[in-house]
């Protein structure tokens, strides 16, 4: 995670992928650790 000068936060590609996968899994009703 990278903090930008304006105070916003940028996720790394890996972090973003994990979040997207987690959301997708939740939507399909699967739980994956």
What are the structure tokens assigned to 5, written together? 């000068």
pLDDT tens over the chain, length 33 residues = 788 899 888 889 999 999 999 998 888 876 555
Helix (H) or strand (E) holding 27: helix 13-28
Q: What are phi and psi of 2, to 5 degrees?
A: -120, 130
Q: What is the pTM of this model?
A: 0.48
- Domain of residue 1 covers 1-33
- C-alpha–C-alpha distance, residues 11 and 20, integer Å: 12
- C-alpha–C-alpha distance, residues 23 and 26, integer Å: 5
Residue 33's pLDDT is 54
Total length of the chain: 33
Number of domains in the chain: 1
Long-range pairs, 9-12, Cβ under 8 A, ≥24: none
């Amino acid at each position: 995670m990278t903090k930008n000068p304006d105070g916003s936060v940028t996720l790394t590609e890996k972090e973003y992928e994990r979040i997207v996968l987690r959301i997708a899994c939740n939507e399909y009703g699967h739980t994956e650790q």
